[in-house]
Structure 1
Amino acid sequence: MNRSRFSMLVLEPGEIYFEDFSCIMNTQESKTLGQVRNGHLKLCSKSLVFEPTEWIYPLTKFHFKDCCDISIVKPMYENDIKNVIKVNIKQYSEMLEQNIVAPYKFKYENKDFYFFFDFASAEECLYQMQQLQRASTLHAPEHNSMVATILHSRYMRMVFDPVMMEDFTEEIICELQVEKISPLVRHQGKLALTPSTLYFQPFSNIENSPIFKLKMEKMRKIYKRRFLLRQVGLEIYGGEESTVSHIYLTFPCEEDRDRIYRILEESPYVQLDRVHVEEMTLQWQNGIVSNYDYLIYLNCLADRSKNDLTQYPVFPWVVADYSSEKLDLTNSDTFRDLSKPMGALNPERLEKLKERYNEMNEPKFLYGSHYSAPGLVLFYLVRKYPRYMLCLQNGKFDHPDRMFNSVRDVYNNCLNNMSDFKELVPEFYDTSAKADFLVNKHEIDFGERYDGSKVNNVTLPPWASSPEEFVSTLREALESDFVSRHLHLWIDLIFGYKQRGEEAVKANNVFHHVCYEGSVDLERVYDMNDRHALEVQIMEFGQVPKQLFTKPHVRKVTPQIPKLLSQGGSEFRPVQIKCIDTIRLHKEAVTCVLRQGSKIISVGKDGTLKVYDLGQGKQMRSVVLCSTPLSSCVMVDEHTVAAGSWDNEIYLYNVEYGRVVESFRAHDDSVSCLLWLIKERLLISGGWDGVVRVWGSVGKIGQALRGLKAEFDHDGKITAVTYRYRRFELDIITGTSDGEVFIWDFTSKELMNKVRIHSSPVCGVSLVLSGDSIVTTSEDGDVYVTDLSVLHSVYHKRMSAAMLSLCWDGCSTLWLGGSAGTLMQWNMITVTQVDQQNAHNDSITSLHLDVDSKTLISASKDKTVKIWQLIQSS
């Protein structure tokens, strides 16, 4: 349970929290009789909120505008309790009783509440409360102005505290008043910038941490942001390994924001990952970046952020069929016309809208509501973020019949309703989030519909049997050939040249002028009432994304990964395979196999290493290396094999002389995988201790431990390891039990990047194509192709069984060994399966390709090793 139930989300959007006071609350003038509750009284700009210490009691909220009187209780006798404030109120609300998220309970009764302060002075508290109570009687613009004055006065008294800094002797080169932004919440505080670190110190104690630190060397992306149509925002992303990976700040003015941006950009410590829009567009056009990831990128570039509900990322409706039993992604009728905005899809409705448009005075608008606004975003996400909706709608959910109850009903409403033109949010296509926004996982009582049914999970179309399948199918539709051929047309409407001006009029894509960037300069609106009205309209109506393109957007050429230049355009020819030998030597599962000349070397769970000579057709060596299973083996020279063991050791065994040359403790837990780099003569080992080690003196007796060249630490167990050459640099690539892939620079020993690809342990990692992509497999059957240059997965396939082993031929063919004993051949140019064999009776644990003999060796849990001859098709 959270330390505190109070959060900024129990306040109105934009309301300011100042401080809290330890006290006792009662409805009687007594500390011992009646409903005595210990807790804290929160002083906020529009209300008082009492949070009881015991979570079974609700939080009680008192709006200043509903307070009839706030006064100090004067003791009648000298021994009476002092330091007490009485609040007389005509109505109040209760929330989070027993910590259950539910609509607020509004109590319409005149009542007295007594607050017995433990430490604070009642006189001092009363002055602040009465000041804010007076402000609550003013109209909204004057109220905001008065609160801003109070806040500014407090800010002037607040000094950045250097005690929390990494080094309090650091020179502060810049200190500014800022706000930290999260959905519906603005935390005031001080920003301090030193030559190496950005610090944010919250004004109040509401944040979990008294200070936020983001080292400049950890900063990877910095975006200027538009906040409420003002260019005052700055969003900073750190690397995944940094403590604070993200922060969104707004500044008093554009000049302050630009100053900080300039300092960060020019800092020698800041190494940004720069991907120009043209580069990203080209990668998307050629099929390197998926439609989903490209839309995420464009939203980010256009000032859309999940931290700002007024500018939440916008995604298109792509499927138009929500009634069929099965969705046919090869049929164009399945899809929505992406060349038109939602409001123009229904010709009859559009005609009525255009009639109204033609009768309007300038500035005209076709649509009276937007395709993305805070209320529309939370309409979709209320089950995932119920507290956001309660915050936005003053403690209430929407009427049960107006909620997101059915996908088909919502789509039909967007087609026919005269005021509903909304698009979708990324969650509809995000397969990693398990479709949680469609499920009432918090078991919230949203009320009953007109037919008596309770609002619960979202009703899905017939073609989806589960929320996960619904999102997965929509994602498949988003990446389909039809959408890939037409997505650029929708981009033109939302981010491109049809967004505004004459082209927008031609495309029937005109919204209210206030929602366009540059149409309103709030800095030049001096009348408080006018400015407040504009701010409310901007907040509630929605905002058009920043325009990214002024010319028609390029069309996607192909959804496939392009062919390698080295292939010279020659057609791919599948390889036929034929089993030429089956070896049965081990008493338990074979865990790893390799070929050296005519010798087949294997290790198994029985702790033995076997050497079989194909020429003589018999076993040449058999040695029990340890009493625990052996996990892996590699040749480190012509006669020496290195074997990794579950007893944390690496054993070096001379095949020619049949003896153990050396063994050494390599890890603090089982050795899980080995890799030998011939060129550098380096042995790389991964362990269940989460460490990858690089050994440089393997083969020199007694020197292995002294030859330790590098250590790379991970959070999860190491399950796979491979490598790549980046020009003249060597990178070590590792997969872990957390589903993550790490890329380490061997020269600098630094982590270059890490990316979470899978939700279950990685089984295998292999470099493919030009070396910029990797294939990864996992225990849940997922196979991903990930582009390392952009750290985006460009292809995903869910197999019927886990692919436990994989092997790349260096050209176009990928071999996959499955947990059901199936051996698959994939063409990675077209990303298609070209062959499948039922190779073993149990899991294929290891695959080894021997180029010289043109054979593929497979090892299995069924205790056998098989030799497959590769025959190139004519």
Structure 2
Amino acid sequence: MEKSRFSLLLLEPGEVYFEDFSCTLNDHIKFNEGSPRHGCLKLCSKSLVFEPRDWTWPLVKLYFRDCISISVVRPHFIDGVSNIIMIKMKQYAEMLKENILAPYKFMYEEKEFFIFFDFASAEECLSQMEQLQRASTLHAPEHNSMVATILHSRYMRMVFDPVMMDDFTEQILCELQAEKISPLVRHQGKLAITPTTIYFQPFSNVESSPVLKLKLCDLRRMYRRRFLLRQVGLELYSQEQSTVPHIYLTFQCEDDREKTYGILEESSNVNLVKKHAEEMTMQWQNGVVSNYDYLMYLNCQADRSEKDLTQYPVFPWVVADYTSETLDLSNTDTYRDLSKPMGALNQDRLEKLKERYHEMNEPKFLYGSHYSAPGLVLFYLVRKYPQYMLCLQNGRFDHPDRMFNSVKDVYNNCLRNMSDFKELVPEFYNTDTKGDFLVNMYEIDFGERHDGTKVNDVALPPWATSPKDFVTKLRQALESDYVSRHLHLWIDLIFGYKQRGEEAVKADNVFHHVCYEGAVDLERILDMNDRHALEVQIMEFGQVPKQLFTKPHVRKVGHVIERVLSYQPTHVTSYKIECIDVITLHKEAVTCALRQSSRIISVGRDGALKVYDIEQKKQIRSINLCHTPLSSCVMIDENIVAVGSWDNEIYLYDVEYGRKVESFRAHDDSVTCLLWLEKERLLISGGSDGVVRAWANVGRLGQALRGLRAEFDHDENVTTLAYRRCGQEVDIIAGTSDGEVSIWQLRSKSRQTVLRVHTAAVCACAVLPAARLLTASQAADFHVTDLSVAHTVYETQLPEAANTCACDGRGVVWVGGARGELVQWDMLAVQQTTRLPAHQDTITCVYLDEATKTLVTASKDKTVKLWQLSSDS
């Protein structure tokens, strides 16, 4: 079967295709005279399109607005031949002659066309044509309303055909009217959902298949979408090998969209891959996800889709040098200032724009055009998608001098022109497509420029030897150290807190109010003319992405990834974990344990300290330090262990000689946690009295109390301690029972930050690479905070409360849970890599011994376990 040359892109944006009729088109009333062409007549809302079967003939487009008359030709005029309609036109258009993609040829002459129908009734066709011709005389809003009424009438007569289903006995859970969206095209149809499959049955026969089928078991990602400022879109991604890997649907109202979303989300056959924004942000910050992939992800989260040209993914200009022979990515002058929008890069132009801004009435705007709109997207991609530009511009390309002819000229224009502030599209950085959008691959005649040169391929900067080399070098620039250090500033402008409001004004980043999400509620605009005007403005002007961040975006700190990862990290750090010893010495819960050389030292609620020899596999020391539970222990010397007790004391015990060295009253209530700073020779203690104290002289007999160096007061019990080094400074981090985390500078004894990220007691904290802090609470919430901006970059809810944790300093974290599970996390890839049922009750302590690559875990089940770590290749 021959492939049809007709497509919905041959219609105007928003035009509806209803049905087609087999017929012959002739310019003479007699069938065998003139130029008879057999083919199909497409009945559309604004035009008739005749597609001849012989591809050497052009398609003929007859606009209803240019129609002088339509009538049925009576049989007695032409020797009894009936079923003919005559259409008299003021002008018409020809397209795709010899199947060559080119601007439409407009014929400005009166002409009569005779349509000889093979099967359809001319009288019935005439009735439909006259109705649409009447609609064409109305203003756009009334025309759209009349067409919508016709469409709805047809829709009500259409019933989803169960014969199209894989199993016609399947139960249809939901049947709705929907539109399938592709660039500049909205294809109406019926959506039916069964327990196993999504079916989309188009109204018309343009699709290659009479029904599109997406298996629920293949569905992987699902996004609510804003379409033309209305929350009616739903974008679905399935496995790449499935017959329908991707579909973008819109519904008549938000309720229909939510109903569909709910059915799919609750289906037992749907297995969605969930990727939280904080998780992706942290992976990007760690360098596990590339800048390219992260920007694609943010665009997706902000309702940007390649199916919707009004919300096409937006990427930044990052290179500012388009004149040098070589591109020096080590030179900061090579790069654009990512802290400013395009309109603010030229200070002289910005001052003129600000003068106009201050003279405006509210609502004011600084920029009268947008950085991304359908026309701007196709400006870049016209060579790759010429049919889109012809659709958008009614069969014409831009004037040759206004086309994308030179990268250097376009960048300079974006810096100087008073109405040009456009950013880039992903294709500039997509090395997979090798820069094909820069090449006139279809050899289209785009015309000649003012100097007589033909518009052909895009002129590249001197440092690029080919389109492939151009996008490869731009990609290297996008992934460079400079851009990685500054990309968060551009994200703040486009997706973040500088996108709108007072911060946008300060950042010179203010666009027309209509393009912001939430600025206009189309559902409340009842006047058809006002509503249509806004829809046209949205289509032509562009839309600001959905705001994703309301605080400054974190900065990238990890290594650079230079290739596409498709949102999936390639390297996950983890260890194999094998239990090599189980130690049962305590009569009650073990509260803390550590390893020192070949010895395991543990303390418990029974008030006892135990020392176990790993090589001999037996207990070698045991002492009851007091009559109250012991909470914690740390080694302060090769043989001296400090122990915190519920009797407010800190005990020092010599493991080598098996004797208690001394004890001192450290707090006014129980000692809850201890921390040892080897370099400073300081013992840090936290207590139920809400105080953190720093002790020097620990180990010098009778000198501990005199060695009190600092006191940090809190409102509630101190539950956990950690520390971090910032150059020469040391910060003490204390978690408390009211959910707060306080960061104190040891030297100045001042509180630097208070993090209020938890609502329940903080029971575990660990410092991750690049100044990130992991904290967990009794409410089972798990947070990672970037300490440089005091902002949460990742949070999740665990299946059980994380009671304790340990970190290897490179991003691997072991978390002990309230139900006895030991979970290994790779915090670079933000993934759980191992989950073990380690104990039969709450894990109270996890201790990493770097020297021997072993973990020690203690539990309320009265046991201590030793775990061997090995590389997980």
Task: Give TM class, smaller chain.
Answer: 0.5 to 0.7
Unaligned runs of 5+ in 2: 562-570, 577-809, 813-827, 832-873
Aligned partner of 1:711 in structure 2 is: none
Give the superposition deviation at 1:406: 0.1
Aligned-residue offset at 1:120: 0.2
Match for residue 538 of structure 1?
Answer: 538
Query: Which whole-Å deviations, capped at 9, do the CAs of 1:96-135 have from their partners, x for residues lacking one?
Result: 0000000000000011000000000000000000000000
**1:279 maps to which residue?**
279
Amino acid at match of 1:489: L
What is the CA–CA distance in structure 1 between the aligned matches of 2:198 and 2:114, rounded to whole Å?
43
Counterparts of 1:268 and 1:242 in 2: how far apart (Å)?
A: 19
1:529 alignment partner in structure 2: 529
Tell me, in whole angstroms, the C-alpha distance in 2 between the residues paired with 1:191 and 1:560: 44
1:223-244: CA deviations, max 9, x gaps? 0000000000000000112211
Q: Report the Cα distance in structure 2 between the residues aligned to 1:263 and 1:365, rounded to whole angstroms.
A: 42
**Which deviations, in whole Å up to 9, do the C-alpha atoms of 1:325-384 show, x marking residues without a partner?**
001000000000000000000000000000000000000000000000000000000000
Q: Measure how far apart 1:565 and its partner are.
A: 7.7
Q: CA deviation at 1:68?
A: 0.3
Conserved in 2, the CA contact under 8 Å of 1:390 and 1:397? yes
Question: Which residue matches 1:503?
Answer: 503
Amino acid at match of 1:207: E
Mapped partners of 1:233, 1:125: distance in 2:
34
Q: Is the 8 A contact 1:91 1:108 kept in 2?
A: yes
Deviation at 1:559, TM superposition (A): 2.2
Which has the larger displacement, 135-144 or 238-247? 238-247
* 8 Å Cα contact 1:379/1:403 also seen in 2: yes
Deviations 1:779-799 (A, max 9, x none): xxxxxxxx9999xxxxxxxxx
Q: Does 2:204 align with 1:204?
A: yes
SS of the residue 1:354 aligns to: helix
1:411 aligns with 2:423: no
Equivalent positions of 1:476-625 (< 5 A) are 476-560=476-560
Residue 92 (structure 1) aligned with residue 79 (structure 2): no
Give SS of 1:293's match: helix
Q: 2-side partners of 1:195 and 1:4: how far apart? A: 34
Matches of residues 329-728 of structure 1 in structure 2 within 5 Å?
329-560=329-560
Q: Deviations over 1:430-480 (max 9, x none)?
A: 000011000001000000000000000000000001000000000000000
CA distance in 2, matches of 1:131, 1:564: 67
Separation in structure 2 between the aligned mates of residue 560 and residue 466 of structure 1, nearest angstrom: 25
Q: Secondary structure at the match of 2:76?
A: coil
> Helix, strand or coil: the match of 1:432?
coil
Q: Does 1:324 align with 2:303?
A: no
Partner in structure 1 of residue 15 of structure 2 = 15
Q: Which amino acid aligns with 2:184?
A: L
From the superposition, tell whether residues 479 and 41 of structure 1 become closer, same or farther in structure 2 (CA, over 3 Å). same
Asked whether the 8 Å contact 1:61–1:93 carries over to 2, the reply is yes
**1:251 aligned partner:** 251
Secondary structure of 1:482's match?
helix
- Residue 131 of structure 1 is matched in structure 2 by 131
- Aligned amino acid, residue 134 of structure 2: R
Partner of 2:616: none
1:551 corresponds to which letter in structure 2?
Answer: K
Superposition deviation, residue 195 in structure 1: 1.4
Count residues with an aligned counterpart: 576
Aligned partner letter, 2:223: Y
Q: In structure 2, give the amino acid aligned to 1:306.
A: E
Whose radius of gyration is greater, 1 or 2?
2
Amino acid at match of 1:364: K
TM-score of the superposed pair, with normalisation by structure 2: 0.65
Report how far residue 2 of structure 1 moved.
6.2
| Whole-angstrom CA distance in 2 between matches of 1:275 and 1:75 | 67
SS of the residue 2:132 aligns to: helix
Shift, 1:560, TM fit: 4.5
CA RMSD of aligned residues (A): 2.0
Would the alpha carbon gap of residues 256 and 492 (structure 1) be closer, same or farther in structure 2, given more than 3 Å must change? same
**3-state SS of paired residue (2:268):** coil
Question: C-alpha separation between the residues in 1 aligned to 2:501 and 2:491?
Answer: 16
The answer to whether the 8 A contact 2:279-2:830 is kept is: no
Q: Aligned partner of 2:37: which letter?
A: R
**CA distance in structure 2 between the aligned counterparts of 1:405 and 1:252, rounded to whole angstroms:** 41
Shift of 1:77: 5.6
Output the CA distance in 2 between the equivalents of 1:414 and 1:118.
56
Partner SS state of residue 247, structure 2 = strand
CA distance in 2, matches of 1:788, 1:163: 46
What SS is found at the alignment partner of 1:431? Answer: coil
Q: CA deviation at 1:79?
A: 3.9
The code of the aligned residue for 2:291 comes to N
Alignment check: 8 A CA contact 1:73 1:85 kept: yes
CA deviations over 1:493-514 (Å, ceiling 9, x no partner) = 0000000000000000000001
| 1:752-771 mapped onto 2 (5 Å cutoff) | none
Letter in 2 for 1:441: M
Aligned to 1:799: none
Give 1:168's aligned amino acid: F
Distance 1:374 1:565 in 2: 45
Checking the alignment, whether the CA contact within 8 Å between 2:479 and 2:560 is kept in structure 1 is no
User: Amino acid of the residue matched to residue 295 of structure 1?
Assistant: L
Give 1:285's aligned amino acid. Answer: Q
Q: How does 1:18-167 map to 2 (within 5 A)?
A: 18-76=18-76, 79-167=79-167
3-state SS, counterpart of residue 451 of structure 2? coil
Instruction: Give structure 1 regions of 4+ aligned residues with deviation exceeding 4 angstroms.
Output: 560-567, 787-790
- CA distance in 2: counterparts of 1:154 and 1:34, whole angstroms: 36
Residues 484 and 559 of structure 1 are in contact (CA less than 8 Å); yes or no, is this contact kept in structure 2? no
Residues 560 and 314 of structure 1: CA distance in aligned 2, closer, same or farther (over 3 Å):
closer
The answer as to whether partners of 1:494 and 1:544 remain within 8 angstroms in 2 is yes
| Residue 683 of structure 1: aligned partner | none
SS in 2 for 1:56: coil
Match of 1:296 in 2: 296
- Compared CA separation, residues 31 and 333, structure 1 to 2 (3 A): same
Unaligned runs of 5+ in 1: 568-768, 772-786, 791-874
Instruction: Give the whole-Å Cα distance in 1 for the aligned partners of 2:67 and 2:169.
Output: 48
Question: How far does residue 78 in structure 1 lie from its aligned partner after superposition?
Answer: 8.2
Take 1:478 and 1:539, find their aligned partners in 2: how far apart are those partners?
A: 29
Distance 1:64 1:269, change over 3 A: same
Compared with structure 1, are the counterparts of its residues 360 and 438 closer, same or farther at alpha carbon in structure 2 (3 Å cutoff)?
Answer: same
- Tell me which residue corresponds to 1:839: none
TM-score by length of 1: 0.65
Paired amino acid for 2:530: D
2:224 paired with 1:224 = yes
SS at match of 1:433: coil
Structure 2 match to 1:169: 169
Q: Which amino acid aligns with 1:321?
A: D
Contact kept? 2:29, 2:78, Cα under 8 Å: no
1:197 shift after superposition: 1.0
Shift of 1:280: 0.5
Indicate conservation of the 8 Å contact 2:218/2:238, yes or no.
Answer: yes
Q: 1:53 to 1:84 in 2, by over 3 A?
A: same
Aligned residue identity for 1:516 = Y
3-state SS, counterpart of residue 75 of structure 2: coil
Deviations for 1:35-93, whole angstroms, at most 9, x for unmatched residues? 11001110000000000000000000000000000000112268421000000000000
Q: Which secondary structure state, in structure 1, belongs to the residue aligned with residue 82 of structure 2? A: coil
Q: Secondary structure at the match of 2:537?
A: helix
1: distance between equivalents of 2:334 and 2:573?
A: 34
- Larger deviation: 164-173 or 237-246? 237-246
Is contact 2:378-2:385 (8 Å) kept? yes
1:269 equivalent in structure 2? 269
CA contact (8 A) 2:282 2:830 kept: no
**Structure 2 counterpart of 1:537, one-letter code:** Q
* Percent identity of paired positions between Structure 1 and Structure 2: 75
Give the match's secondary structure for 2:487.
Answer: helix
